[in-house]
């Protein structure tokens, strides 16, 4: 083991003593920068990452409804809420759809809603109890920023564990599930246009479903890596329609 690994191991084994020593230092500290360093150290050492049940980490649940009995159930709800909000945006766009195409657009909305319901609104992305391929975090609950839409990785190596403490749980709400091909500027308008100009062709709604609601087109990003400028990306024209008779099966 390296020197730093030995240091961290010793540091961890004496955690309670270190926390108490740091608290004493903080009580007499007046310099803002040193106060911040000491407070952050206490905060990080005091977290209870592995606790799952409400009874094992009451502080984590402060401010949350009593129906949430464990951390993972709340995190699933958090992810589901984001996905549901995307569905609401798609639905509300119907007023912008050409009147002759609104019924067909509504039909696609219904198909997407049915599939989302069957997938439990992809709440698995934030649930650390899920299988590895279904979640965006480690088994302990660590999430890593996937970087801006135009980068393969996060240049700042941002990471967070919302399962660790209440403050991290709240901070995680500022992280964004960012659409690489933008929802408002590209995907939804393209879907509306596809329905309007389909001319007997079948709109490949499952392609749009993937772009809107799945990690095929979503990146988890720290707020500093969330670029709100125009992505200048568009849907794949070859995937907008598909051949064959109209098929409403949910697969």
Each residue's pLDDT tens digit, 50-105: 999 999 999 999 999 999 999 999 999 999 999 999 999 999 999 999 999 999 99
How many CB atoms lie under 10 A from the CB of residue 117?
A: 11
Contact 235/216 with Cβ under 8 angstroms?
Answer: no
Query: How far is 97 from 85, CA to CA, in rounded Å?
Result: 19
Burial of 199 (0-12, 13-18, 19+ CB in 10 A): exposed
202 found inside a domain: yes
**Same-domain check for residues 38 and 154:** no
* pLDDT tens figures, 165-178: 999 999 999 999 99
Q: What confidence tier does 24 reach under pLDDT thresholds 50, 70, 90?
A: confident
212 found inside a domain: yes
pLDDT of res. 244? 59
**Same-domain check for residues 75 and 42:** no
Domain count, the chain: 2
pLDDT of res. 1? 63
**Same-domain check for residues 89 and 142:** yes
**Same-domain check for residues 83 and 198:** yes
28 found inside a domain: yes
Query: How far is 167 from 165, CA to CA, in rounded Å?
Result: 6
- pLDDT of 179 above 70: yes
pLDDT of res. 12? 65
**Same-domain check for residues 35 and 79:** no
**Same-domain check for residues 114 and 217:** yes
140 found inside a domain: yes
Contact 175/143 with Cβ under 8 angstroms?
Answer: yes
240 found inside a domain: no
Determine the 3-state secondary structure of 250 from DSSP.
Answer: coil
**Same-domain check for residues 31 and 131:** no
**Same-domain check for residues 38 and 76:** no
Q: What confidence tier does 47 reach under pLDDT thresholds 50, 70, 90?
A: confident
**Same-domain check for residues 187 and 95:** yes
**Same-domain check for residues 103 and 183:** yes
pLDDT of res. 4? 76
32 found inside a domain: yes
Query: How far is 217 from 179, CA to CA, in rounded Å?
Result: 6
Global pTM value: 0.84
235 found inside a domain: no
Query: How far is 51 from 63, CA to CA, in rounded Å?
Result: 18
Q: What confidence tier does 27 reach under pLDDT thresholds 50, 70, 90?
A: confident
Residue reference for tokens 């030995």: 6
**Same-domain check for residues 81 and 157:** yes
Contact 238/195 with Cβ under 8 angstroms?
Answer: no
98 found inside a domain: yes
- pLDDT of 6 above 70: yes
Range of the domain at 27: 3-46
Q: pLDDT: is 240 or 6 the higher one?
A: 240
**Same-domain check for residues 109 and 187:** yes
């Amino acid at each position: 083991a390296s020197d730093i690994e030995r240091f961290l191991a010793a540091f961890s084994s004496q955690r309670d003593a270190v926390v108490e020593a740091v608290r004493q230092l903080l009580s007499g500290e007046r310099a803002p920068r040193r106060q911040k360093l000491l407070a952050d150290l206490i905060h990080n050492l005091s977290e209870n990452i592995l606790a799952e049940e409400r009874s094992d980490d009451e502080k984590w649940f402060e401010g949350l409804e009593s129906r949430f009995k464990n951390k993972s159930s709340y995190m699933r709800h958090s992810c589901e809420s984001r996905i549901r909000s995307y569905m609401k945006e798609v639905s509300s766009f119907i007023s912008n759809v050409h009147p002759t195409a609104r019924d067909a657009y509504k039909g696609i909305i219904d198909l997407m809603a049915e599939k989302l319901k069957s997938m439990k609104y992809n709440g698995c992305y934030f649930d650390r109890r899920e299988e590895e391929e279904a979640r965006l975090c480690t088994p302990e609950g660590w999430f890593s920023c996937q970087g801006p839409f135009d980068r393969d990785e996060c240049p700042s190596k941002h990471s967070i564990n919302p399962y660790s403490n209440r403050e991290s749980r709240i901070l995680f709400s500022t992280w964004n599930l960012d659409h690489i091909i933008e929802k408002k500027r590209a995907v939804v308008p393209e879907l509306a246009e596809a329905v309007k100009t389909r001319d007997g062709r079948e709109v490949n709604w499952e392609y749009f479903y993937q772009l809107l609601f799945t990690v095929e087109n979503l990146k988890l990003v720290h707020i500093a890596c969330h670029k709100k400028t125009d992505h200048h990306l568009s849907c794949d024209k070859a995937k907008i329609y598909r051949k064959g008779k109209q098929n409403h099966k949910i697969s």
